[in-house]
Amino acid sequence: MNDTELDRLLDTWEAPAPPPSMREGLRVRCPRAKRRRFPRPLRWVLVIAAATATLAIGMEQNGENSWDFRLLRVLNRLYEGFMQGLEARQAASIKARIRQSEPKVYVDGQLVAPLEYGPAGRMDVQVPGEGAYSIISYPGLAGWVEAGHFHGNAIEFQAGSKQVRIECNKPIVDSDRPVFARRRP
Amino acid sequence: MGKAPEHDLHDARRGKEAALLRLFDDHHLPLFRYAWRLTGSTADAEDIVQECFLALLRPDCSFDPARTAIRTYLFGAVRNQSLNRLRRREQGVAAESTDHRTPETEALRGETAEAVANAIAGLPEAQREVLLLAHYEQLSLAEIAEIMQLEVTAVKSRLQRARATLRETLAAYAPRTERTI
């Protein structure tokens, strides 16, 4: 018996596929990180809200009402800027994961042109018969509407009368989140 | 998601479940096959592989990404756990029968595959481990040497001996090639 013949013989002994429960079993046994009492963004919200309230009360007591509104507005802008920065960072991270996961775009089940990547967390999809659509993973921008959701290794959303599904070969989000879309002019 | 294994491990140790599952997705198949071939039990193989991934998260885990590739480390961990279980089984601590020897699975298995499984099971432990890693998991001699903490030359010689023994044991099952004179 030569080497090739022995190799062929050895190959007849095949291992079974791992049970589907194996991954789920690991997930269940995985120790959870101790959850913070408040998620990090919420903690910042609470800190800013407390600071604002303290200052507002202090100024009310001092009779300096003219400063009250201005300070509140500045604090409010600071907070909004902070939250938008956080969301943009998350969106960019999701986009980076998608780029590395060989995404395939399906419109009503038909494979179409690949995704195009815009600035920050934006991605563009050519939807035959409906035109070009941009998608992003965070709200708060004018003209963008919630059109579907990210879940696991896929993104699904409605573009006019068409259903768009983007499939990646790896998970891109840890938990479901909405997707916001806008038809490009 | 394209992250280096050490980054995933770092995230997994900080409680990020998705990072651990990425490591699992990348490595579990060959580890499961190896554990199954060593223990002969699907349930044991499943448990061993899960346990090895969970062990990576423990503070006393000895894995050092600067010294060892994660794949090599995991194969070593699976090997140690499998051998411990086999020894416990031999001592009667957990008297389970191996899956590939139950009548139900034997009936499903082809005669040749059964003969190969038995021939491999009959090899000395050190030769069997080398053969499983080299032939079935296609690991290099250097990787096997690292896993088994041997010299490459020792691995090579064990592999040659294992194959020579199998050639003899399985001679009756050799494919018959018609030769023209």
The residue ranges of DSSP E strands in B68-166, in sequence order, are none
Highest mean pLDDT among A84-98, A149-163, B121-135: B121-135
Task: Check residue A80 and give its pLDDT.
Answer: 79
Chain A interface, best mutation among B16, B49, B50, B160, by max A CB count within 10 A: B50
Task: Check residue B161 and give its pLDDT.
Answer: 96
- Alpha carbon A144 to chain centroid, angstroms: 15
Does the complex come out with an ipTM higher than 0.85? no
**Tokens 């079993």 sit on residue:** A25
Task: Check residue B180 and give its pLDDT.
Answer: 42
- Least confident range from A8-12, A85-89, B20-24: namely A85-89
Query: A30 and chain B: CB distance < 8 Å anywhere?
Result: yes
Q: What is the CA radius of gyration of chain B?
A: 18
Q: What is the DSSP string of B20-67?
A: HHHHHHHHHHHHHHHHHHHH--HHHHHHHHHHHHHHHHSTT----TTT
Task: Check residue B61 and give its pLDDT.
Answer: 83
Confidence of residue A26 (pLDDT cuts 50, 70, 90): confident
Q: Would the pLDDT of B96 be above 50?
A: no
Sheet containing A154-159, strands listed edge to edge, beginning at the edge strand earlier in sequence: A110-111, A104-107, A162-167, A154-159, A145-151, A177-183, A131-136, A123-127, A116-117
| DSSP-assigned letter for residue A2 | -
- Who's near A128: CB < 8 A, 6+ residues apart? A107, A110, A112, A162
Task: Check residue B1 and give its pLDDT.
Answer: 46
Distance spanning both ends of chain B, measured CA to CA:
58
> Can you tell me the mean pLDDT for B174-179?
58
Task: Check residue B75 and give its pLDDT.
Answer: 93
Q: State the number of CA atoms in the 13 A half-sphere of A150 facing the CB.
A: 23
Report d(CA A16, CA B37) in Å as an integer.
10
Per the CB < 8 Å rule, is B110 touching A12? yes
Query: A170 and chain B: CB distance < 8 Å anywhere?
Result: yes
> Can you tell me the mean pLDDT for A94-113?
88
Q: Would the pLDDT of A57 be above 80?
A: no
> Can you tell me the mean pLDDT for B151-171?
94
Mean pLDDT across chain A, nearest whole number?
A: 81
Confidence of residue B178 (pLDDT cuts 50, 70, 90): very low
User: Which of B32, B50, B170 faces A25 most closely, judged by CB atoms?
Assistant: B50
Report d(CA B85, CA B62) in Å as an integer.
21
Highest mean pLDDT among A67-71, A117-121, B104-108, B146-150: B146-150
Task: Check residue A67 and give its pLDDT.
Answer: 62
Q: A161: helix, coil or strand?
A: coil
Report d(CA B4, CA A19) in Å as an integer.
27
C-alpha dihedral sign at B164, B166, B171, B173: negative
Report d(CA A170, CA B38) in Å as an integer.
30
Q: Which helix (H) or strand (E) holds B7?
A: helix B5-13
User: Which residues from chain A sit within 8 angstroms of residue B59, using beta carbons?
Assistant: none
> Contact A131/A118 with Cβ under 8 angstroms?
no
The partner residues of A131 in beta bridges, in order of sequence, read: A127
Q: A121: helix, coil or strand?
A: coil
Query: A120 and chain B: CB distance < 8 Å anywhere?
Result: no
Task: Check residue B49 and give its pLDDT.
Answer: 93
Task: Write b or e for each residue in B46-74: b if 16 or more Cβ atoms lie within 10 A of its Cβ, otherwise e.
Answer: bbbbbebbbbbeeeeeebeeeebebbbbb
Task: Check residue A87 and give its pLDDT.
Answer: 79
User: Which residues from chain A sit within 8 angstroms of residue B54, using beta carbons?
Assistant: 26, 29-31
> Contact A52/B78 with Cβ under 8 angstroms?
no
Task: Check residue B181 and give its pLDDT.
Answer: 40
Task: Check residue B112 and give its pLDDT.
Answer: 86
In Å, how far are A114, A125, A159, A162, A168 from A165, measured between CA atoms? 12, 10, 10, 10, 10
Of chain A, the percentage scoring pLDDT greater than 90 comes to 11
Give the global pTM.
0.55
Per the CB < 8 Å rule, is B167 touching A172? no
